[in-house]
């Protein structure tokens, strides 16, 4: 497994990370969740991403119950704060009150003394940015958080935050967690250049576009039973992708590029992403041990310039039109 620095920080994470958005604490039982987490660690994955709202907090709790099986120093735990956790007026957002309270709640669910990477799950227009940044800085000063990052912030929002941190003498953000894949590339025009300028690394979610880039979905066919695409509750963000034109392009990528390399189209898609500048980790979701084994293998696939060009040629028609 390759380990990459997150932005300009000294934190190093596995090129493939394991997430828990729609899996652990929800669709996957605890025994299977533990098997997936243990296999990930065995394969060298050290970056485990979750959030306080995933499965109503249960995703963090599953991870917390598994953690005694590992050395804490071997694990990089990332979690997030922003979305509502209750009906009260202060049960959401990036106010100092909500950030501090939810950090404490995540520490309890995870059963740890500190969080390696604490991320603002979205930007909060209703709270002064200085309040948010000072709360994060205080958590780092207290040792409850080691590094701070953001998720799905625009380039302008990142630049404003970095400028304010410098002006106030606060510890810098080290990461952004955007959606990024061959079928979702909006960050290339704005977020990636700004992040490079200010030293933020990308720990990206949905690198396989909800499974579309694995080739499991076929033009003119129903989504396979049990797949995310067949689950109305889980297939958010996928309507724009489960169309024949996109699915045909993925099949072409599999047939014309991946098969010649002797790899799956999913591994090719992950390898392409890991060849893009500024990417620290691609966070995959997995419900089985075999999925983790396949995804982890993608980190070792080297692609030459000619192959990268061929991938671009096949997928370029969807570079702009299929944005979230």
38 closest CA partner among 74, 83, 3, 86: 74
**What's the confidence (pLDDT) of residue 22?**
80
Tell me the pLDDT tens digit for each residue of 235-261.
566 667 888 889 999 999 999 999 999
pLDDT beyond 70 at 228? no
pLDDT average, residue stretch 215-223: 76
Contact 6, 203 (CB under 8 A): yes
pLDDT beyond 60 at 303? yes
- Residue numbers annotated as active site: 54
CA dihedral for 220, 225, 230, 235, sign (positive or negative)? negative
Cα 180 to its chain centre, rounded Å, is: 9
pLDDT average, residue stretch 170-176: 98
CA atoms within 13 A on the CB side of 35: 12
**What's the confidence (pLDDT) of residue 29?**
86
Contact 139, 109 (CB under 8 A): no
**What's the confidence (pLDDT) of residue 155?**
97
pLDDT beyond 60 at 144? yes
Cα separations (Å) of 97 from 19, 90, 132, 172?
A: 27, 7, 10, 21
Cα separations (Å) of 297 from 168, 188, 263?
A: 43, 25, 10
CA distance 264 to 1: 18
CA distance 57 to 218: 34
323 falls in which pLDDT band (50, 70, 90)? very low
CA distance 78 to 107: 11
> What's 172's DSSP letter?
P
pLDDT average, residue stretch 201-219: 91
Mean pLDDT score of the chain: 92
Tell me the pLDDT tens digit for each residue of 309-319.
999 999 887 66
85 falls in which pLDDT band (50, 70, 90)? very high
Encoded tokens for 229 = 């695409």
Tell me the pLDDT tens digit for each residue of 36-57.
999 999 999 999 999 999 999 9
**What's the confidence (pLDDT) of residue 243?**
85
3-state SS, one letter per residue, for 290-308: HHHHHHHHHHHCCCCHHHH
**What's the confidence (pLDDT) of residue 23?**
83
Candidate from 26-30, 99-103, 177-181, 199-203 with smallest mean pLDDT = 26-30
Tell me the pLDDT tens digit for each residue of 262-286.
999 999 999 999 999 999 999 999 8
- Identify which has the larger pLDDT, 302 or 221: 302
């Amino acid at each position: 497994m390759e380990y990459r620095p997150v932005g300009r920080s000294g934190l190093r994470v596995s090129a493939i990370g394991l997430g828990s958005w729609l899996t652990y604490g929800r669709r996957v039982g605890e025994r299977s969740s533990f098997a997936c987490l243990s296999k990930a660690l065995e394969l060298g994955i050290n970056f485990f991403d979750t959030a306080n709202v995933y499965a109503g907090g249960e995703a963090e709790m599953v991870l917390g119950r598994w953690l005694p099986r590992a050395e804490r120093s071997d694990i990089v735990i990332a979690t997030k704060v922003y979305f509502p956790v209750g009906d009260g007026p202060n049960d959401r957002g990036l106010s100092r009150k909500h950030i501090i309270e939810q950090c404490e709640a995540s520490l309890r669910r995870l059963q740890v003394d500190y969080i390696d990477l604490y991320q603002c799950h979205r930007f909060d227009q209703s709270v002064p940015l200085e309040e948010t940044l000072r709360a994060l800085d205080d958590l780092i000063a207290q040792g409850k958080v080691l590094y701070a990052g953001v998720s799905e912030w625009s380039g302008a929002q990142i630049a404003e935050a970095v400028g304010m941190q410098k002006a106030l003498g606060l510890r810098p953000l080290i990461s952004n967690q955007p959606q990024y894949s061959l079928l979702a590339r909006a960050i290339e025009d704005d977020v990636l250049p700004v992040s490079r300028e200010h030293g933020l690394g990308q720990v990206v979610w949905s690198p396989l576009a909800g499974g579309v880039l694995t080739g499991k979905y076929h033009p003119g066919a129903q989504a396979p039973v049990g797949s995310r695409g067949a689950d109305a509750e889980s297939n958010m963000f996928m309507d724009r992708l489960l169309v024949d034109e996109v699915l045909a392009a993925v099949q072409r990528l599999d047939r014309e590029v991946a098969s010649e390399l002797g790899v799956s189209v999913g591994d090719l898609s992950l390898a392409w992403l890991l060849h893009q500048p500024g990417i620290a980790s691609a966070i995959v979701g997995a419900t089985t041990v075999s999925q983790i084994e396949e995804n982890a293998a993608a980190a070792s696939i080297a692609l030459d310039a000619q192959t990268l060009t061929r991938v671009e040629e096949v997928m370029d028609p969807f570079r702009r039109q299929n944005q979230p």
